[in-house]
Amino acid sequence: MNAVINNPHPTNTGWTEEAEASQEPTANAARLKIERETHKLEKRLCREVGKAIVDFNMIEEGDKVMVCMSGGKDSYALLDILLKLKARAPIHFDLVAVNLDQKQPGFPEHVLPEYLASTGVPFHIENEDTYSIVKKLIPEGKTTCSLCSRLRRGILYRVADELGCTKIALGHHRDDILQTLLLNMFFGGKMKSMPPKLVSDDGRHVVIRPLAYVAEKDTARWAAHRNFPIIPCNLCGSQENLQRKQVGEMLREWEKRFPGRIENMFNALQNVVPSHLLDGNLYDFKNAKATGIASEDGDKAFDKEEFPTPAALPGMQVVQIR
């Protein structure tokens, strides 16, 4: 197994190291500031994607990674950052960009091929009229996302087999993961989100989300900086009443009012305490008995919580619950 995987806290692996970019002096202070901020953004994106790859062993020696390109800002950012990391990664892997042309009316089918050709990355355009199927089966005004995603997923799995890909990379980011958590809680009655890495339903494919640690605002800023030719989704992107869209707006409002809340929510997904939830499949509540041995986990859920002070987390509002 590659050394990168064995060390949970690798140093100078190539995945997360921050290569210094030269900055030529300029008389324009505003331009220099923009260049500095853009450089910081690029380093942060590469660092966070590299960390996710290492933390979850997403990409291994010899992998052929299929990068799914929708034409949206997130998939463009994903491919762009993976190309940068490929150039300095400690292992060899290949990338192939794949777009599914779903034959939506007015879809600019020339945009992605022209862009991908300019990057030099191998790419494949799969033509499949799922648009007509969705419009035929879903009544006007109803949400199309569920059926559309199922059809798209099946086609992409087939294409991955045909191209000999070992991993399928999707462009979901941190905000998508949190939105999915809340959607499942509010409407599905489950504590479930998007995993950074999973085995597909058919058991034959490994799906990865290298942007798992990346905030959506950063992919938006990077897309604007790189001037990606964004293609809007006319099938589902125009559905204003989607529950996911409403939850996303709620999260953005929280982040504005309570800076740090979104980060804490995301950290909570990585710090789960099964004994303090209610799922008997995760913790054997029925057979829990007194042992006479003190435990750090214990019943602290019932103690008065001691949260960090405002000085420790600037900008966060502290509310005392009595």
The pLDDT tens digits of the residues spanning 71-81 come to 999 999 999 99
Report residue 44's pLDDT band, with 50, 70 and 90 as the boundaries: very high
Report residue 217's pLDDT band, with 50, 70 and 90 as the boundaries: very high
**Percent of the chain, pLDDT > 90?**
59
Say how far apart CA 190 and CA 210 lie, in whole Å: 24
Tokens of 265: 């929510």
Mean pLDDT of 24-51: 86
Look at 13-27, 131-145, 176-190, 261-275 and tell me which has the smallest mean pLDDT. 13-27
DSSP state of 212: T
Say how far apart CA 128 and CA 241 lie, in whole Å: 27
129 or 158: whose pLDDT is higher? 158
Q: Report the pLDDT value the prediction gives residue 140, as an integer from 0 to 100.
A: 73
Mean pLDDT of 221-225: 96
Cβ atoms of 160 and 205 within 8 Å: the answer is yes
Cβ atoms of 184 and 198 within 8 Å: the answer is no
Say how far apart CA 223 and CA 74 lie, in whole Å: 8
pLDDT, one tens digit per residue, over 6-15 is 444 455 567 7
Q: Report the pLDDT value the prediction gives residue 312, as an integer from 0 to 100.
A: 43
Cβ atoms of 277 and 268 within 8 Å: the answer is no
Q: Report the pLDDT value the prediction gives residue 280, as an integer from 0 to 100.
A: 95
| Surface-to-core class of residue 115, CB atoms within 10 Å of its CB (0-12 exposed, 13-18 middle, 19+ buried) | buried
Mean pLDDT of 268-277: 92
115 or 134: whose pLDDT is higher? 115
Q: Is the pLDDT of residue 150 over 70?
A: yes
Report residue 181's pLDDT band, with 50, 70 and 90 as the boundaries: very high
pTM above 0.75, yes or no: yes
Burial of 34-64, coded b for 16+ CB within 10 Å and e otherwise, reads eeeeeeeebbbbbbbbbbbbbbbebbbeebe
pLDDT, one tens digit per residue, over 60-72 is 999 999 999 999 9
Report residue 321's pLDDT band, with 50, 70 and 90 as the boundaries: very low
**Percent of the chain, pLDDT > 70?**
80
Per the prediction, the chain carries an average pLDDT of: 84
Q: Is the pLDDT of residue 139 over 80?
A: no
244 or 91: whose pLDDT is higher? 91
Q: Is the pLDDT of residue 274 over 80?
A: yes
Say how far apart CA 228 and CA 116 lie, in whole Å: 11
Q: Report the pLDDT value the prediction gives residue 317, as an integer from 0 to 100.
A: 47
For residue 294, give every residue at least 6 positions away whose Cβ sits within 8 Å of its Cβ, in sequence order, or none.
Answer: none
